[in-house]
Amino acid sequence: MPEIQAVLLVLKRLVIYLTVFVVGGLSVFVLGDLIVSLRLPELRPWHTITLNHDFTADMELATDWGRYLELEQKLFDELDVHLSQTIRPAIQLSSSRYIEGGNRFERRLEADWNRSYKLDAQNPKGVALMVHGLSDSPYSLRSIAQILNRNGVIVYGLRLPGHGTLPSGLDDVRWQDWYAAVRVVDRHIRQHHAELPYFFAGYSAGAALGVKLALDAVAEERMLPDQLLLFSPALGVNPLALLANLQRVLSHLEPLRKARWLDVLPEYDPYKYNSFTKNAGRQISLLVSQIYTDIERLNKTGNTEKLPAIVSFQSLVDATVSTVDLIDRLYAVINNRNSELVLFDVNQMSYFKKLIYYDPDKILQAFKKQAGSDYRLTLVTNQDDSTPAVTEITLPSPTRSYAERPLVLEWPEDVYSLSHTSITFPPDDPVYGLEFRDREGNEMITLGNLSIRGERGVLTVPAGNLLRLRSNPFFEYIDQRITDIILERSPDQASPERQPAQ
């Protein structure tokens, strides 16, 4: 008996010490976070204004595509009032996205790409739902939408709740709000275009929402998209993002409101927030965690083969999401020979290789663990380390042999890798392109080719933000791959019956 009491006493002390350690550690984390937050720039009206007409998850069942657009119009009408009364009087940046008529980049475009939209097609060959990434807008998939529409696909472009307006919109949004909006458009497509091949195209967080949609469609035995096209899919994020809102109770106090923000930066990008809330990071982390749970559940039931074909385009190096997690936690459970992972390698030119901090071992190990997988793996890489010319290499699988196809593309001389933000934008993109020209052929400044020099620590924007690649020199390759997929899925070539997942 004394021995049992001694053991219980030790266990009790262990629990107390562990509790003190965890609570103390979290307290230090929150305190340190608050101290760092106080050093951020002062919040501006676009960081503090709350808009009241955005869609939320509890509206899903009472909302269709038309109602979603009506609600969105009310949201932008509300924004216009704040722009005229509060926001524009506070603007100190001549290139702000909120100036009258938009900044120079926004004025280059014919439509407001911060809003949801529909592109019709005559004699349609398919229908597509486009979903952008976190802190982005529908513009991030504009060029992909144009490829689909050019090939006869009706396109629905969705603006997710909290996006396209003020960065404050991401302070209270939940991932369930984003997903409910996706379900609204998905339901509309299934009701009105059930006879057409259905493509889902998602970038970053939008790609994650597409995977969630497919997983739920299998679980609920309802109609699936025929094809998922994923670009820089956010299926692996920093686990610390789950702790991002620990300071939220204290941040309700006015002096500590900056603690809600990870970055407070000038808003000069017309289609992407530069400032970033901690809540946004937490929400994408919660979404990805739920997706992993759903994938594991589906894998246990043996129903992963019911998922649609998934083709992903991803930079081998990505500072935003994990390429290894994409391989390990999505493609590792796919048993679909029509699915494919396309990776863009770093520039293997010899003078770049010595400067790049890049270790391929983790990625190679991830592939080795999947020796029996049936999906296709494609690598776009240099033909050799003496040339910028690239080739497409298809790596062997149990049902495919090694193949190589030289491409009529090459690395720009000053680009060492692609990035998370570059995949979906062509080099001549009017906002982010490296090579945009006006109608007379004159080179034009974009947010993707802006080249400025000076002393470090002077700019209000981190130098890394300006140096990060914003367009894809190999976008022509993606264009052709998507076109081929549409042709394969066209009604005259596709299987005549489309059934719900059984």
In tens, the pLDDT along 215-272 reads 999 999 999 999 999 999 999 766 655 555 555 555 565 667 888 999 999 999 999 9
Window from 211-215, 360-364, 375-379 with minimum mean pLDDT:
360-364
Distance between CA atoms of residues 73 and 109, nearest Å: 20
Q: What's the mean pLDDT when you consider all of the chain?
A: 86
Tokens of 91: 């603007």
HSE (side-chain half, CA atoms, 13 Å) at 305: 6
In sequence order, which ranges of 242-321 are alpha helices (DSSP H)?
Answer: 278-301
Question: What is the C-alpha separation between 347 and 419, in angstroms, rounded?
Answer: 12
Residue 247, pLDDT score:
57
Q: How confident is the model at residue 71 (pLDDT cuts 50, 70, 90)?
A: very high
List pLDDT tens digits, range 430-479.
999 999 988 888 989 999 998 777 877 777 777 777 789 999 999 999 99
Could you tell me which residue, 467 or 350, shows the higher pLDDT?
A: 467
Q: Tell me the backbone φ, ψ of residue 463, rounded to 5 degrees.
A: -60, -35
The top-scoring range by mean pLDDT among 144-148, 347-351, 376-380 is: 144-148
Residue spans of the domains in the chain: they are: 25-489
Task: Write down the pLDDT at residue 131.
Answer: 98
pLDDT at residue 29 above 50? no
HEC letters along 354-365: CCCCCCCHHHHH
**Confidence category of residue 302, pLDDT binned at 50, 70, 90:** confident
195 or 359, which is more confident: 195
| Rounded CA separation 113/495 (Å) | 34
Q: Which long-range contacts (CB under 8 A, 24 or more apart) does 490-499 make?
A: 490/125, 490/126, 490/152, 490/197, 491/125, 491/195, 491/196, 491/197, 494/197, 494/226, 498/194, 498/195, 498/197, 498/198, 498/223, 498/226, 499/223
The C-alpha angle with vertex 196 and arms to 194 and 201, in degrees rounded to 5, equals 100
Per-residue model confidence (pLDDT) at position 114: 98
- In this predicted structure, the answer to whether residue 191 has a pLDDT above a threshold of 60 is yes
pLDDT at 501 over 60: no
pLDDT at 332: 82
Mean pLDDT of the 487-500 span? 56
Q: Label the pairing between strands 276-277 and 261-263.
A: antiparallel
Residue pair 338/489 in contact (Cβ under 8 Å)? The answer is no
∠ Cα 275 277 281 (to 5°) = 120
Distance, first Cα to last Cα, the chain: 59
- How many Cα atoms within 13 Å fall on the side-chain side of residue 386? 0
Structure token pair of residue 266: 């000038």
**Spatial separation of the C-alpha atoms in residues 411 and 153, rounded to whole Å:** 31
pLDDT score for 500: 38
* Residue 341 vs residue 250, higher pLDDT: 341
Contact partners, residue 421, CB within 8 Å, separation at least 6: 232, 320, 432, 468, 469, 470
CATH number corresponding to 25-489 = 3.40.50.1820
pLDDT cut 70: percent of the chain above it: 82
